[in-house]
Structure 1
């Protein structure tokens, strides 16, 4: 059996030897497919990195699946959830739109986690073998998050490696026993052991101490170029600089000029405002994520002081969201920090603070918060959120309001948000993670306000 070092070395050699694929002059369209519960904005930094290496903005398309959560049982309808068949149909329609808009013959598909399930299903069962040149799968549970019966988890879940959906996708396609084959070129990207959904123990799926039947290598596919990137977590297998570098090289056959996000001009921002579906008519009963428009919501944007989070004058932008959920465009000032304020009936007034925007983006998607019943008596509520990765005190340098590690962060990369309840008068709050620093303010929860400090990197 190969050692971890050998696996990493072989992955690096295989990756470097990939010299096939379209030339940089062709710039094939890339369609980005988000994971379970996510939306198009998750690909913002990846899009910026492709742009920083010359990829035309109009050839980078990130989809928004209206109901991004998978069904518990893929064979049974469930409100606010999509089946594997519905997911595939949506992706197929999006690919056809991109082909029509660009005039290209084929697209590159790049998916994270559940997004890879839809990509594989489309290529195998939906005609994608004729419209896709490259498929790049980051952190995709190709052999399941669990592969043995683990009640109450359903054997019919699309994430069950022993279930009908994944068994069908993993059927050999040739005499060599490959699980994927041409004409599509395939790449998988996995962690060397830090992916919460590729673990032999069921800790992260509520089955602590139970054997899941999968291994850290379960995202690999026979017949694909299987890349191992050390220390990355489940989301970073798609959204980190290293994952970008692997994808760029796989598509073009050469290294990118840079893995950094290169600032460019005066950023123009836009995106979508979406809401949360209710599991019942009572807002306290729980919510589920969706990517449906939230018409009637109000968005205000304020420039803020970089050190204190205090507003510097009145709104720089104000807008009531229409039926399509779109907001913007807003011409932001380079290097300026902003406070995004969302208000809508049934939601807390949500104050979102982020790092400055180095480039334009059309996927600055936002969603207001609902306050859980357990938090409603707190003086204030603040959330530190890292959409494109997780917190790991064994790996990362981080602090939230001076607390290090942030409350809720546990060893092992499995938590992406931290919540605190600051006391006293409204004051400055700081979130720090591996060199990124987000500055904001606390707001009184009694008046229905919540603070979100959202990390970009």
Structure 2
């Protein structure tokens, strides 16, 4: 694989990074007026939703980027097709994804009066951004692009193996995107400033071995540097996983530096004095769960027990919105989502330090594999993976959590099936200092408990 210019990011996850970046910031020149900050459009990845950007948006706000210039959208049918040229129910093509992004950018430009936007994408979102900028007219209205964990050269490049898939490095789509541009053979569209963020070797979708695509021991012909692009500023973030290339403090610090020319004042989330939450109740296709019911309870963070009556309740309409909800920034909550065809999901969350409009709720189902279990509890980390070699974590006293492999960051969810019935009991999930406790609920009545990490 061709060599690419690579920068080792100074930012790493943890307090040491914060201290180092703060020290740099004290000697930097003043940043431009906040009124000059361009609008940013965040583009989520394969099968994901805009909810994953909530902590990143909080960090931008905490450093003074105007909240009304930060935008994220839920793409309908966010999963890529198996074959990009063949229609598939519930999935989208590369062309459909780019058309959707263009429509959102046009809305943002009209709403803000800006002449250009910044695009920040994770994983498949990077494919969409590159396609829109290169082939959909985006080069005229985009100033900067940041791609986190984007499989820029594919996840695999193997002859005869799903070559028409969007993530094949041999696909016509990928070959066209990476065709040399200009005399220097750049792989990025000229006229736009580009940055890629990648892991050193811990991204499950940038691996020379096919273990994470169901072909262990088989070469993918893709290296750890697969997300890097010739012509971009290519930054390496040590030990981050695939999702953390976009959603970690280190990714935010590198992005802020790229956009503003200085280190951020902080990579922490600065608390709001008033917290108003909102979001959508959606299924896997990011379509609204019209007719669902959402009820919110304040809970004891140590036991998961409810503190009093419901703090908020709403029947979900065609837009999927379950808020707004005036929350307390020091309170843990249980979100109860009852949706036709799904049963009831009890989602327990840590306190919310700031207001947020992307607190999305997705239901869980009791599956055939859960047969015989009295309760089912899911421990999930949407903005990163579980890494037994890197992280400190425990799920109902078990470390590593069930289903988490002893090596590699490739699993973001652990599922616990409890037997024996009896009264509800507390179940706790812990991950690198974040601790969530919820109660068990009867699986026989189609109830599932979810402990959802924020960080």
TM-score, normalised with respect to structure 2: 0.93
**What are the residue-to-residue correspondences of 1:145-294 with 2, within 5 Å?**
145-149=155-159, 151=161, 154-275=162-283, 289-294=284-289
* Contact in 1 for aligned 2:7/2:234 (Cα 8 Å): no
How far residue 328 of structure 1 moved from its aligned partner, in angstroms, is 0.5
Q: Deviations over 1:306-342 (max 9, x none)?
A: 2111011111001100111111100001210110000
| Whole-angstrom distance in 2 between the partners of 1:334 and 1:171 | 49
Q: SS of 1:328's equivalent?
A: coil
Distance 1:180 1:51 in 2: 29
- Structure 2 residue corresponding to 1:56, chosen from 40, 44, 66: 66
**2:18 paired residue number:** none
**Deviation string, structure 1 residues 249-307 (Cα, Å, up to 9, x no partner):** 101101100000000112100011012xxxxxxxxxxxxx2100111000000011121
**Which position in structure 1 is the counterpart of 2:52?**
42
1:113 maps to what in 2?
A: 123
Find out whether 1:393 has 2:402 as its counterpart: no
Q: Helix, strand or coil for the counterpart of 2:81?
A: coil
The reply on whether 1:412 has 2:408 as its aligned counterpart is: yes
Alignment CA distance shift 1:133-1:7 (3 Å) = closer
After TM superposition, give the deviation of residue 348 of structure 1 in Å. 2.2
Match of 1:323 in 2: 318
Consecutive unaligned residues in structure 1, runs of 5 or more: 276-288
Superposition map of 1:317-396 within 5 A: 317-396=312-391
State how far apart, in whole Å, the 1-side matches of 2:364 and 2:402 are: 19
Aligned residues: 436
Q: For structure 2, list consecutive stretches of 5 or more residues without a partner in the other structure.
A: 12-20
* Displacement of 1:146: 0.2
Cα pair distance change 1:170/1:24, threshold 3 Å: farther
Q: Distance in 2 between matches of 1:186 and 1:233?
A: 21
Matched, 1:23 2:3: no
Runs of 4+ deviating beyond 4 Å? 6-9
> What is the aligned partner in structure 1 of residue 77 from structure 2?
67
Determine the C-alpha separation between the residues in 1 that align with 2:342 and 2:183. Answer: 56
| Deviation of the 1:182 alpha carbon | 2.9
**Conserved in 2, the CA contact under 8 Å of 1:181 and 1:224?**
no
Check conservation: 1:8, 1:229, Cα contact below 8 A. no
Distance 1:65 1:300 in 2: 25
Distance 1:95 1:362 in 2: 19
Equivalent residue, structure 2, for 1:78: 88
Cα RMSD, aligned residues only = 2.1
Quick check: 1:24–1:252 contact (8 Å CA) kept in 2?
A: no
1:123 and 2:136 correspond? no
* Partner Cα distance (1:304, 1:183) in 2: 51
Q: Is the 8 A contact 1:248 1:255 kept in 2?
A: yes
CA distance in 1 between counterparts of 2:134 and 2:189 reads 10
Structure 1 equivalent of residue 451 of structure 2: 453
Three-state SS of the structure 2 residue aligned to 1:218 is: coil
Contact 1:274/1:365 (<8 A) preserved:
yes
2:427 matched residue in structure 1: 429
For 1:268 and 1:175, the matched residues in 2 are separated by 51
Between 374-383 and 188-197, report the one with greater CA deviation: 374-383
Q: Quote how far apart the aligned CAs of 1:210 are.
A: 0.6
